[in-house]
Amino acid sequence: MSNPLHLETELTFSNRFTQELPADPLNTLESRPVIGALFSDVNPEPSPAPSLLAYSPEVLELIGMNSEVVKTPEFTHWVSGNLCLKGMRPHASCYGGHQFGHWANQLGDGRAINLGEIKTDRGQHFTLQLKGAGRTPYSRTADGRAVLRSSVREFLCSEAMHHLGIPTTRALSLVTTGRSVVRDMFYDGHPKSEPGAIVLRVAESFTRFGHFELLAHRQQHALLKQLVDFTIRSDFPEILGDEPKDNTGRWFEVVCQRTAELIVQWQRVGFVHGVMNTDNMSILGLTIDYGPYGWLENYDPKWTPNTTDAAGRRYCFGNQPGIAGWNLTQLANALYPLIGSTAPLERGLDLFSQTFEASWRKMMAQKLGLMTFKPDRDEALIERLWSILEHLEIDMTLFFRTLSQIAPVSHAIESSEIAQRFEPSFYRQDLTTSGDIERLTNWMKDYLERTSEEALTPDQKSAMMKAVNPRYVPRNYLTQMAIDAAEQGDPALIHELLEVFRHPYDDQEDVQRFAQRRPEWARHRAGCSMLSCSS
């Protein structure tokens, strides 16, 4: 297809990664160990009949593209992999990683193809990446494609996370390819044909912990240093100091700090990644790789959205902080050969723990409407609350949003009032008449006494809490409803949810149905409760 001038001049490709780092000398799709290289050149597989289902106006503006370009057929062909623009260098990157705690050796971009890196008029660099555009040398036995259900989930959640204020990769577009893809959704020997789709993802960098781990595992220390130096120079220029030998340690500290802050934000909104393997951890502290993720509905720290993780629950909600620390330790092990001392790496790991604790306390104080966190009182108050929410099966998102509307004045609150106010967040049908409601009532009295000590008006307290306790999150069942409709040819719910998630902290009166607890029909339905890695 010809390259239309108006689309081709929209983007300026800088491609620092492919210009400065070594490429795979082979140019085939054969699955193989790729040694001594950080990427392989590979072209997207053409889509026979691409159709644009949705796009993000904010991401279009972020990368400096004119909104009118979306209306052109060339745009759809470009974001589906059919059109190669001047300056693009499509490639898949090479990395390894620990999966479920075990070293998995080489992994790489098996379902992702980077179109290249652009530089905007504002001087920002972004890598553009197609997910689901065909095979790469890292696809192993897979076909490199993606299905509509996983693509809808990634598109909606990427943008929702951004508007929630959580660091994340972004999603520019969602297209169907016109090709069917066969997947065994439950890994139970019953594959079926599903519509294929592609998401164009955008991030400052898609570099992962696993990039460094693989080079260290192979003892390619010169290439490891080259990658570290490139990463610091390209993505962390602010840490460059007079002593280059100290740069790696300083960089690791920043990665630890950003990772801690990211996990705190996940915990704030009840997000569960589902597959926190080291190859799914961003060195920029971004949420990356939206596979079998999920959102806590009834509060359960042991809940995991990943069917593969159901037995061990390694990546459940409550384990996410500890797993992040474990993953950072693996990154530290990979960097040790460059530093030759454990002290800088231990400082980074200590910083992770310190940052997480301080950020978590600040976050919880905000969620509860407290100006200050008093450990001697508030830790016990919070632990009691988590126990109550879990035992009583209360919706986490709805509970905190309702709590933000209760003025810190009266301590004489009764169980009947609690039941009435919080009933929309109860999953247990007997809870309004159960004696268990007394536990929540007693906690509420202690909480109101605590908040009455703060120098905040009711309106100030409510505003503080609403700024961190969202009204709308991409609940699993909402996304599944959008998938069901899209598979029948109707993308309207995708568009509606995208618009709702652009303002997650606002009370949007005309869409209150999207702020309701999970319906009973979705409790155990696939896609609404747990998912596999199949896409």
Catalytic machinery residues: 279
Tokens of 77: 């062909």
Q: 297 near 520, Cβ under 8 Å? A: no
| Cα-based torsion angle of the residue sequence 478, 480, 485, 488 in order, rounded to the nearest 10 degrees | 180
**Rounded Cα–Cα distance for residues 18 and 163 (Å):** 31
* CA end-to-end span of the chain: 29
Question: What is the CA angle 211-217-219, rounded to 5?
Answer: 105
Measuring CA to CA, which residue among 117, 141, 139 is closest to residue 128? 117
Helix axes 320-339, 221-235, angle to 10 degrees: 120
For residue 155 the two structure tokens come to 């598109």
* H/E run at residue 468: none
Q: Which amino acid is at 3?
A: N
Beta-carbon count within 10 A of 119 CB = 16
Q: Pairing between strand 170-183 and 112-119?
A: unpaired
What's the rounded Cα separation, in Å, for the pair 147 and 183? 8
Residue 131 contacts residue 201 (beta carbons within 8 Å): yes
Show the tokens assigned to 74: 């060339």
- Which DSSP letter does residue 105 get? E
CB burial of 206-243 (b: ≥16 within 10 Å; e: otherwise) equals bbbbbbbbbbbbbebeebbebbbbbbbebbbeebeeee
Q: How far apart are CA 62 and CA 155, in angstroms?
A: 16
Spatial contact of 244 and 338, defined as CB atoms under 8 Å apart? no
What CA–CA distances, in Å, run from 436 to 385, 393, 443? 13, 11, 12
Query: Distances from the Cα of 426 to the Cαs of 429, 433, 468, 469, in angstroms?
Result: 7, 12, 21, 17
